[in-house]
Structure 1
Amino acid sequence: MITSTKPDARRNASPYLYGQEAAAVAQVLESGQYGHSDVTEEFEHRIAEFLGVPDAVAVSSGTAALHTALLAAGVGPGSEVIVPSMTFCATVQAILAVGAAVRFIDVDPATLCVTEQLVRDAVTDATAAVVPVLFGGRAADLMGARGELNARGIAVVEDAAHAFGSRSGPHLVGTAGALTCFSFGPIKNLTCGQGGMVIPRTPEEADTVRRLRLLGVQEPQGERANTTTYRVGGFGMRYQLSAINAAIGLAQLDHFATTADTRRHLWRTYRDALAPLDSVTLVDVDVDNAVPHLCQILTPHRDRVFTALRARGIGVGVHYPPNHLQPAFAAWRRLLPATERVGREVLSLPFHQHLTETDIDVVVTALGQALAS
């Protein structure tokens, strides 16, 4: 193990707190209002304000955001959802949770994101929604295909778990007309400890997600204390975001400009350090517009490099094994040559805000040695 490697380089990802989060949580605990409360609603308001959108609906996780967004878009049994295989399995599980079938598609190996043409080629009469995954923080721009999809009644539900704060051209992710889902999990660019957010397209979608996150109860939570009954209007889950988690998110949001600048600087530092290495391709996140969530390379020597770096205490990882090759999703397996090559070659380097330029130098030096061995 390299003794010069700090613990920060031994972790592939790590939460980063600014110091105000503990006090914010303590204030919630002192209030006695631990569940959904006005703190949760303040977090919703602040996210909507940050994005410049009319509304934002907080839920308990990014997976919950995808599940409720698909339901709000009317996706259900008998329909089909187009989704890249190159994503975390949560994306696929949310589609299966609404009873829809999965149609896996390939990605552009340069970005690990879908393209308009890949989506167009995959659309069938059964397609109800497309779920582009904004991989690593890069915005997958489907604006050119949006009119065609809308004309066919096909919803665009963005899996923006990696992409809070990123842009596609002039548009912040969540503002370009898609039903957008964010994740605020422990290692995301903005964390609530655990949480998610749906950015609805219409007031009706917002109302639907709010009912779904509270077990289908129609009355807003604050009104139930003043009545002897309530109405359950349909299916729902317990997907509320607690005030404890919202308080963490509010504290994080105050520092998000610093988060974005730091992550862009770290990614550019990796880019410059990796440039001399042969047999390595850096996955492009469009760093000038994205807030990077991952720093990934492609190398045909991935497995050998992975083993060598792990043995030397460096926290590399693989994001992600392709879903169309997973046993649980075998019913929807199809040939996806680009994804299958990427699945063999992709390697995530340590990437989080605790890293220093010295840490990155240690990682890249060890990578070069592993490639040369």
Structure 2
Amino acid sequence: MTGALVIGAGPAGLMAAQELALAGHAVTLAEAKPSVARKFLMAGKSGLNLTHDAPMDKVLAAFGAAAPALRPMLDAFGPDQIRHWAEDLGQPLFTGSTGRVFPVAMKASPLLRAWLSRLDGLGVRIVTRWRWQGWDAAGAVLFDTPDGRQSLSPQVTILACGGASWARLGSDGAWAGHVPAPLLAPFEPANMGLCVDWSAPMARHFGSPLKGIALHAGDRISRGEIVISATGLEGGGLYALSAALRAGAALTLDLAPDLSEEQLRQRLSRPRGKASLSNHLRKTLKLDPAKQALLMEFGRPLPADLAPRLKALPIRHSGPRPMDEAISTAGGIRFEALDAGLMLLSRPGTFAAGEMLDWEAPTGGYLLTGCLATGHWAGRAAAAWLRPPG
């Protein structure tokens, strides 16, 4: 009998395996892909934003409606603990001007190598190309493997199979077919781009960043950067509004968030002479070509008083990009289906962690923080559950 089984070798699963092994338990870590932590490595190609150096109230706010459920986990293994853990693995870190925390190496592979070496030293057994296929009638855990169907009867199991985006990296959401539907909130894209059917003149601006803007959706405001793409809009400033946009909130763009409407009017009222509107907007407001293009795309017919339109430009779109393109997903196992240790109430001895759970967070280090925190929590809770009575 396998002592402890962890299914899914992303950050949450690796962390859960670490905590079980540190508690002295024999651990098998099963991964469906040929190698571990593929999405983690992909995230590292853009710098590996490991966590965020922010007060706990800001960290919790990033997790929205799931914050009350996640609070004890973030208190136990939040940004401070994540920094100490990475440094203990020999990875020096730095904090950027926006509070985002990165390894000095600016990639994931050195951290992953050090982590896997630690797990190997703890005796964690990693098997790859093992795809979870649910449970049999006797409760054994079933896998399709290169050697055919395998079954394990662990004393404890932690599910860390990821969400339902980036299927090629392993997060395909197929595991949902093995969990009773009432326990699941439907998958939805999070940290997602929007589809926009651009007019032909916009093509010259594909790939252009939009900086120094504010995005509004419902009661949410984001000051992050976005990019005009051939298919629509992408970028961190947009990702922070995913939940509001999915709920149907209209998206508006403030092209000059540091100026009031009256200040805009005063600048626009300066003598224009023979200058074109484009040159006038550039000289008086420093409005770059990409911002001007958006104004023409969504703001026409232009009103005589441009100030309100510049402060709240309505963005017409046709909804989120496909879910598999999203950086992460909302939905998954509902917290009401779990106990305080993230154990399934309907299946004692089986825990869940990471993006399998019904939470979402914006980019900026919060996603990895949530995965590491829930993996740490589930691993410790599973280890405590295994502890002999008395």
Tell me the TM-score range normalised by the shorter chain.
under 0.3
The TM-score normalised by the length of structure 1 is 0.25
Larger Rg: 2
Please state which structure has a larger fraction of its residues in strand.
2
The TM-score normalised by the length of structure 2 is 0.24
